[in-house]
């Protein structure tokens, strides 16, 4: 009895907690499959389920464009941020570039409310004629990704990594070769994890895109928000669009599970 | 192969901490040199300066007669084995071994033959396709050693390479390193805080403390003629017994007096100790230099010991006792395995007088007397 209880109780507790997190998602999936009237019924009613909202978002709204913009901006900003953040983290960790002051400065930039950064950025882009362009969004997202990713990666280049690099240097490697052939491959799980997080950060980013994008360069979060029109919230298509916009993150999930945990627990050196 | 010369080498960190203080040392070509000292004595820093991993603040470092202060570690042609092995975790054992050779653009066939040879030498052939994470501590140790060996460098630097191994493995690796040195004849600098490693492996020991070299010499030379009380108490377990005493006139000779015990000074040492007659000194008596039976001709002197306890180790027995009187200083004495004494029992043993050492209590330096071979 006692042993069975020991097995069941944790599962019950975990199920309840999981439901707290999953309920909104399940709700959205249900709403995405019903019509607008059924969607608002309390208690929830299943009614006739169908894919009409999914068809709707592709026909009535520029959903493909939002999705493509999101994908391009997230991929490009991650691909640019990753090598830069890796080099930055390495120089913070191993060369102590700029000392504690620069490290803290980089972190402090992330403590500012994003809204403070948006207006100056808008001003700069206006000056160089980049407003409403995807390039502007990519640069804007770099201002988020670079500090975040470099801070995340610093720990990967500290500690035992110094010994490995010293071993490589005595083995005949130049500093650059030691970085490229030893430090980067050893930190690869962390770099990959950082890349995945960078992608998700950009994918979900709302404020910068809201201010800096134009009609042709809107990404998903801003596109979805535009479904809340003055004629009321288009709740059912909104739910369908939300489900589709979650798909890439779900596709990354297996990688995330494997590499994020491995990467964040610094397993490579043990 | 090459000699390594340190000429007044100093390491000062930006926070004004001096880790190594004007150290000068000649390591001969092909020599097995041990850097011995407690942690923080500067031995590892010295090794890292030889490797080029730490900048030299002042002084000159010569490898094979060439000044290398500013030479990149990659171009010094030395190999280092780290305490935690520092194997590249993303490479197989074979690639770990090949890494240094590939960087030097050694031909693939030559790399292959060297790896085969070294793997056979160290018995790691079955491990070549494994990753470091799949190896035990002892195997990693061998691979780390192999990575140094395949390079065929001018000198090996070993930074406490045995300290992460268990006792049995450490003992066998000790022997293997000695064998390797005998067959290769390459200069080896081995850093350790383990005095057993120092005594058994080195041709010479360099004992360091607080960034200074205290004494350099062959293991037995250092053991029998310690330069000061630090060396005396650092080498061998149990270490030399250091007892407060005095030098007094004894007829026409001298005697070292500890508590109520008078130890006549051998005639050959009288001149050396004469200047300290009537002064307080520290008398050093090795635990090994006591015996149950007196030797004639005044070679030994009787000492009364009040047993505190005995530690029966198997091959030997350590007698822990108060020296000369029940309230006297505590001493450790190494006796043969059949020796027994009860707590509180007074035992009379005989000290081998030529082995006596006398230290100045102010400077802690030994009073120089004729050397024992």
The answer as to whether A13 is a domain residue is no
CA nearest B254: which of B233, B236, B268?
B268
Q: What is the 3-state secondary structure (H, E, C) of chain B?
A: CCCEEEEEEEEECCCCCEEEEEEEEEECCCCEEEEECCCCCCHHHHHHHHHCCCCCCEEEEEECCEECCCCCHHHCCEEEECCCCCCCCCCCHHHHHHHHHHHCCCCHHHHHHHHHHHHHHHCCHHHCCCCHHHCCHHHHHHHHHHHHHHCCCCEEEEECCCCCCCHHHHHHHHHHHHHHHHHHCCEEEEEECCHHHHHHHCCEEEEEECCEEEEEECHHHHHHCCCEHHHHHHCCCCCCEEEEEEEEEECCEEEEEECCEEEECCHHHHHHHHHHECCEEEEEECHHHEECCCCCCCCEEEEEEEEEEEEECCCEEEEEEEECCCCCCEEEEEEECCCCCCCCCEEEEEEEHHHCEEECCCCCEECCCCCCC
Total number of domains in chain A: 1
The answer as to whether A5 is a domain residue is no
User: Considering Cα of A171, then A175, then A181, then A185, what sign does the dihedral take?
Assistant: positive
Q: Which two tokens stand for residue B131?
A: 């990753």
Q: Are A46 and A230 in contact (CB under 8 A)?
A: no
Residues of B in contact with A186 (CB under 8 A): 88-90
CATH 3.40.50.300 in chain B, residues?
Answer: 4-233
Model confidence at A95: pLDDT above 90: no
CATH number, residue A91: 1.10.3720.10
Nearest-angstrom CA–CA distance, B182 and A25: 71
Domain at B241-359, CATH from 3.30.1360.230, 1.20.1070.10, 3.40.190.10, 2.40.50.140: 2.40.50.140
Residues of B in contact with A172 (CB under 8 A): 74, 100, 103-104, 151
CATH 2.40.50.140 in chain B, residues?
Answer: 241-359
State the residue range of the domain holding A136.
56-269
pLDDT for residue A196 = 86
Q: CB within 8 A of B308, min separation 6: which ones?
A: B320, B321, B322, B330, B343
* pLDDT confidence tier of residue A267, bands split at 50, 70 and 90: very low
- Domain spanning B4-233: which CATH class is it, in words? alpha beta
pLDDT for residue B350 = 95
Cα atoms found within 13 Å of the Cα of residue A220, Cβ hemisphere only: 28
Q: What is the mean pLDDT of the segment spanning A196-203?
A: 89
Give me the total of CB pairs closer than 8 Å, taking one residue from chain A and one from chain B: 66
pLDDT for residue A94 = 87
Please enumerate residues of B whose Cβ is less than 8 A from a Cβ of A: 51-53, 72-74, 76, 78-80, 82, 84, 86-90, 99-100, 103-104, 133, 147, 151
Please answer yes or no on whether B74 and A172 come within 8 Å at the CB atom: yes
Q: In tens digits, what is the pLDDT along chain B, a chain of 373 residues?
A: 689 999 999 999 988 889 999 999 999 999 999 999 998 899 999 999 999 999 999 999 999 889 999 999 999 999 999 988 899 998 999 999 999 999 999 999 999 999 999 998 888 999 999 999 899 888 998 899 999 999 989 999 999 988 888 888 888 888 988 988 998 889 999 999 888 899 999 999 999 999 999 999 999 999 999 999 999 998 888 999 999 999 998 888 899 999 889 999 998 898 889 888 889 999 999 999 999 998 888 889 999 999 999 999 999 999 999 998 888 999 999 999 999 999 999 999 999 999 999 999 999 999 988 876 5
| Strand, helix or coil for residue A77 | helix
Model confidence at A55: pLDDT above 60: yes
Model confidence at A1: pLDDT above 70: no
Model confidence at A265: pLDDT above 60: no
Determine which of A4-8, A228-232, B118-122 has the lowest per-residue pLDDT on average. A228-232
Question: What integer best gives the mean pLDDT of chain A?
Answer: 85
Q: What is the mean pLDDT of the segment spanning A212-229?
A: 85
């Amino acid at each position: 009895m006692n042993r069975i209880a020991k097995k069941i109780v944790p599962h019950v507790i975990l199920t309840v907690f999981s439901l707290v997190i999953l309920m909104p998602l399940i709700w959205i999936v249900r709403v995405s499959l019903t019509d607008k009237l059924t969607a608002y019924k309390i208690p929830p009613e299943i009614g006739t389920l169908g894919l009409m909202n999914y068809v709707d978002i592709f026909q009535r709204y520029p959903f493909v464009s939002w999705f493509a913009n999101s994908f391009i901006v997230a991929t490009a900003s991650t691909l640019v941020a990753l090598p830069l953040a890796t080099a930055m983290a390495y120089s913070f960790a191993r060369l102590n570039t700029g000392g504690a002051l620069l490290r803290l400065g980089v972190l402090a930039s992330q403590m500012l409310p994003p809204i403070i950064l948006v207006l100056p950025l808008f001003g700069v882009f206006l000056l160089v004629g980049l407003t409403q362009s995807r390039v502007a969004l990519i640069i804007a997202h770099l201002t988020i990704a670079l500090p975040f990713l470099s801070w995340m990666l610093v720990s990967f280049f500290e500690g035992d990594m110094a010994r490995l690099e010293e071993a490589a240097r005595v083995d005949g490697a130049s500093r650059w070769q030691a970085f490229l052939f030893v430090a980067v491959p050893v930190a690869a799980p962390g770099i990959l994890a950082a890349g995945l997080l960078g992608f998700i950060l950009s994918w979900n980013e709302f404020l910068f895109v809201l201010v800096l994008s134009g009609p042709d360069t809107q990404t998903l979060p801003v596109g979805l928000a535009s479904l809340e029109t003055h004629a009321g919230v288009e709740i059912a298509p909104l739910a369908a669009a939300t489900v589709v916009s979650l798909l890439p993150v779900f596709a990354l999930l297996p990688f995330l599970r494997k590499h994020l945990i491995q990467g964040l627990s610094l397993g490579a050196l043990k | 192969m090459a000699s390594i010369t340190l000429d007044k080498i100093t390491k000062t960190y930006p926070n004004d901490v001096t880790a190594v203080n004007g150290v000068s040392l000649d390591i001969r070509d092909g020599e097995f040199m041990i850097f011995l000292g407690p942690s923080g004595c500067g031995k590892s820093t010295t090794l890292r300066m030889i490797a080029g991993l730490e900048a030299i603040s002042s002084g000159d470092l010569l490898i094979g007669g060439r000044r290398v202060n500013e030479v990149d570690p990659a171009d010094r042609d030395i190999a280092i084995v780290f305490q935690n092995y520092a194997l590249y975790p993303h490479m197989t054992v074979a690639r770990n071994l090949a890494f240094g050779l590939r960087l030097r653009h050694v031909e693939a066939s030559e790399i292959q033959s060297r790896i085969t040879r070294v793997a056979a030498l160290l018995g790691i052939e079955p491990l070549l396709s494994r990753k470091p994470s799949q190896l035990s501590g002892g195997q990693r140790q061998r691979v780390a050693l192999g990575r140094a060996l395949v390079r065929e460098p001018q000198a090996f630097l070993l930074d406490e390479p045995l300290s992460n191994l268990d006792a049995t493995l450490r003992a066998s690796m000790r022997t293997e390193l000695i064998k390797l040195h005998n067959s290769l004849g390459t200069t080896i600098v081995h850093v350790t805080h383990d005095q057993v490693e120092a005594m058994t492996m080195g041709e010479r020991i360099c004992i360091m403390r607080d960034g200074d070299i205290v004494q350099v010499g062959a293991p037995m030379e250092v053991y029998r003629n310690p330069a000061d009380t630090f060396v005396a108490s650092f080498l061998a377990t149990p270490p030399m017994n250091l007892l407060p005493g005095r030098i007094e006139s004894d007829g026409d000779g001298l005697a070292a007096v500890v508590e109520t015990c008078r130890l006549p000074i051998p005639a050959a040492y009288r001149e050396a100790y004469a200047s300290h007659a009537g002064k307080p000194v520290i008398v050093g008596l090795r635990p090994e230099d006591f015996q149950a039976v007196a030797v004639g001709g005044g070679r030994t002197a009787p000492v009364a010991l009040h047993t505190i306890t005995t530690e029966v180790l198997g091959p030997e027995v350590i007698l822990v006792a108060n020296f000369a009187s029940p309230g006297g200083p505590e001493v450790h004495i190494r006796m043969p395995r059949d020796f027994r004494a009860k707590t509180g029992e007074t035992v009379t043993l005989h000290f081998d007088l030529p082995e006596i050492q006398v230290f100045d209590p102010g400077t802690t330096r030994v009073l120089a007397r004729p050397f024992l071979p």
